[in-house]
Homo-oligomer: A and B are copies of this chain.
Amino acid sequence: MAFCNSRHLLSSAVRGLSASPSSDLVRRSWQRLPKFYSASTLSSSEPTGAPLSAANISIEKTVAPKKKLSPSKLVFGHTFTDHMVQIPWNATDGWLTPKILPYQNLSLDPACCVFHYAFECFEGMKAYKDSNGNIRLFRPDKNMARMNKTAARICLPTFDHDAFIKIIAELAKLDSDWIPSERGYSLYIRPTLIGTQASLGVGPPQSALLYVIMSPVGPYYPTGFKAVKLEATDYAIRAWPKGVGDRKLGANYAPAILPQQMAASRGFQQNLWLFGDEGYITEVGTMNMFLVFKQPDGKFELVTAPLDGTILEGVTRDSILALARERFDKDKWVISERKATIKEVADHASAGTLVEAFGAGTAAVVSPIKEISWRGQPIPIPLQPGKETGPVAEQMAKWIAEIQYGEVEHPWSVLLE
């Protein structure tokens, strides 16, 4: 493959580095720089071109509004609102004027690097209507920070968090009629960033498009929780140390479907990703995984995998950990970000000390689990009597929904002016 010219390579590397000061990859690589190459040399170049700004956003309203589906007929991610955001970027000019346009197809050269080399990343976030009819976002700063970290990892341009939240807010307000008022409904917001350079050399994209589409969604459990069965996957792995499993890249998703399908073909709703000979529990399908164990001293332990680079840094994961640390009785609970193995789960099940398990993610918030199949043997997981959920998942779903719908005041809920 042809190389890009080294001037660009350097400036883009620097852009990625300086835009993502918290990147583990970059920190590690800096530590390993040969002594003759100083960090100050790298940081002397800044991103070129205009920064992203919400000041001069242009709005073209649709002349043909779509007919809205009855809320009860919504299927996740199938129905989209009337408008979208498009913000082009190129290496010379930086971020161009943000545009709100009628929802429409993208017209792209078939050589664009998004089609060949997976220069693409996204976020999943939601807007909620509170009882006063106001629109609220849930922790949008977390999504923006993660999207920038992800973009920097694949040499796509980073952007100002606040400016992009303002632009998303404009879109949400314009299409606010699309957010059903009923509790449990929300507007799923999908910011997406793709590389648009139309040439086949493998290198950092010189042009990109940041866009936002929105989809009204119904409650994940319209008739109450439904606990799921998982199949533990050890014949394929999702992510590895020094890889990109902690970034919300398109690249992490397509390869994950076949193991999910194979689990589904054997009657399991999701697969559970194990890692290594030890069988470490990492993620469940596209969600983070939580377990509750009863310890010998009588305390309960809420366990989720640590942020070691192999799991997605979920916003719901972070919210559950924060709420548990703040609100659970400290005399009775230990909150652990640590590695747990499937063997440990099986042993707890045998000993009667496996209390609960659930997935956590933006779409479902929590997804209770009632069984894990491991090497053809079921590991049963308790549920509450007469319910399809354990108590922690139920409590977390309630606490988080109260914040999302503005029923309790909380800094995580951002009211759109």
Contacts and interface: CB of A to CB of B under 8 A. Distances in A.
A264 B201 contact: no
A211 B108 CA distance: 14
Contacts of A236: 25, 29, 242-243
A199 B78 CA distance: 5
Interface string A199-211: 1111110000001
A221 interface: no
Contacts of A114: 114-115
A211 B112 CA distance: 13
A328 interface: no
Given A106-B108, A117-B250, A264 B77 contact: no
A76 B2 contact: yes
Contacts of A103: 110
A266 B10 CA distance: 9
A36 B267 CA distance: 12
Given A200-B188, A213-B111, A264-B10, A155 B251 contact: no
Interface string A304-347: 00000000000000000000000000000000000000000000
A186 interface: no
Contacts of A37: 266
A375 B32 CA distance: 7
A255 B121 CA distance: 11
A210 B359 CA distance: 36
Interface string A374-395: 0110000000000000000000
Interface stretch (A11-19, A49-57, A58-66, A91-99): A11-19
A269 interface: yes
A118 B120 contact: yes
A253 B118 contact: yes
Nearest to A107: B105
B235 A28 contact: yes
A192 interface: yes
A262 interface: yes
A190 interface: yes
A235 B253 CA distance: 23
Contacts of A153: 255, 258
Contact of A155 (B6, B76, B237, B258): B258
B251 A199 contact: no
A4 to B, nearest CB: 8
Contacts of A244: 255
A33 B373 CA distance: 11
Contacts of A408: none
A399 interface: no
A240 B3 CA distance: 25
A9 B262 CA distance: 8
Interface centre among A235, A286, A373 (most CB of B within 10 A): A235
9 contacts: A1-B286, A2-B76, A3-B269, A13-B258, A16-B261, A32-B235, A34-B266, A116-B120, A116-B122
Question: Which 5 residue pairs spanning A and B have beta carbons closest together?
Answer: A77-B200, A118-B250, A34-B376, A117-B253, A251-B251
